[in-house]
Amino acid sequence: MNGVLRDELLGQGAAVVGFAALTGLLGAEIAHLDRAVSIAVARRLNEDTLGILTRLQKRAVRLLKVQGYRTLVLPPDSDRKKDTFVSKLYALFNHKMAATSAGIGWVGMNGLLISPQHGPRLSLATVLTDAPLAADRPFETSGCGACTLCRDHCPSKAITGAEWSRSNPFVELVRLGECRGHKAAGRQVAGKPNCGLCITVCPYGRKNINEEILA
């Protein structure tokens, strides 16, 4: 099951696919769906990342349902319709938790999921299921090492410099108020809330991007 699912999703545009066992980590309402298929897509300019993620989730659901398993689709954070019944459950779940558990990456100093190959340049979506998928090896600690580029470049000084680990997942990495305040100010000045410097400077996976730009 693992191999088929992974190959299918990678073949359809996923950058990384991982499987996680989340037994004991989920809220009571969704605790029976304790396996996660974590799907990551590399963000590229002029590509409909959301569309790709949505399509990949549907593929995964179809494959799992055909085998008689249950599924619960957790859409990407930027695509959460508020008017559905099931949207009430989204707050119970965290894509980054699934992704670190599925061995896709760790949570970096900038509070974003960082993959060794793609850095913080992945968009995440998750499908929960009760299929007995074999779990990939989770990330236990941060791979940021001594690098503080994102903290040094953050215009709002929102990055605390603390380090994430699975045993201490609730440490404050980013002072969200400051980050949001900066983006709100950007919106007023430039009409866009864009910042993303902590993504741009991250050395993990940066090379790939440059090559693509040059190509």
Partner 1 sequence: MVTEEKKAELLEKLKSAVIAYDEDTAKEAANEVLAVGMNANDAIFNGLVSGMVEVGKMFEAQEYFVPELLMCADALYAGLDILKPHVQQMDLGVRGSVVIGTVEGDVHDIGKNIVKMMFDVAGFQVYDLGRDVPLDKFLEEQIRTDSDLVCLSAMMTTTMTGMKKVIDDLRKKNPNIKIMIGGAPVSQDVADKYGADGYAKDATNALKDAINMIGSLKQMKDEAEAKKAK
Asked if 80 is part of the footprint of partner 1 (rule: CB under 8 A), the reply reads: no
Asked if 33 is part of the footprint of partner 1 (rule: CB under 8 A), the reply reads: yes
Q: Which amino acid is at 182?
A: H
Q: How many CB atoms lie within 10 A of CB 136?
A: 18
Stretch of 80-88, 112-120, 153-161, 167-175 lying at the interface with partner 1 (CB under 8 A): 80-88
Distance between the two ends of the chain, CA-based, in angstroms? 37
Which of these, 214, 183, 212, 215, lies nearest to 196 by C-alpha position?
A: 183
Cβ 76 to partner 1 shortest distance, Å: 17
Q: Which amino acid is at 13?
A: G
Site size toward partner 1, by CB under 8 A: 13
Which of these, 114, 132, 5, lies nearest to 56 by C-alpha position?
A: 5
Q: Are 101 and 20 in contact (CB under 8 A)?
A: yes
Of 58 and 207, nearer to partner 1 (C-beta) is 58
Q: Is the dihedral of CA 145, 146, 147, 150 positive or negative?
A: positive
Rounded to whole angstroms, the Cα distance separating 150 from 115 reads: 15
Asked if 85 is part of the footprint of partner 1 (rule: CB under 8 A), the reply reads: yes
Among 21, 30, 195, 197, binds partner 1 (CB under 8 A): 30
Stretch of 13-21, 27-35, 152-160, 178-186 lying at the interface with partner 1 (CB under 8 A): 27-35
Asked if 137 is part of the footprint of partner 1 (rule: CB under 8 A), the reply reads: no
Of 55 and 183, nearer to partner 1 (C-beta) is 55
Asked if 65 is part of the footprint of partner 1 (rule: CB under 8 A), the reply reads: yes
Positions that interact with partner 1 (CB under 8 A): 29-30, 32-33, 58, 65, 70, 72, 84-86, 88-89
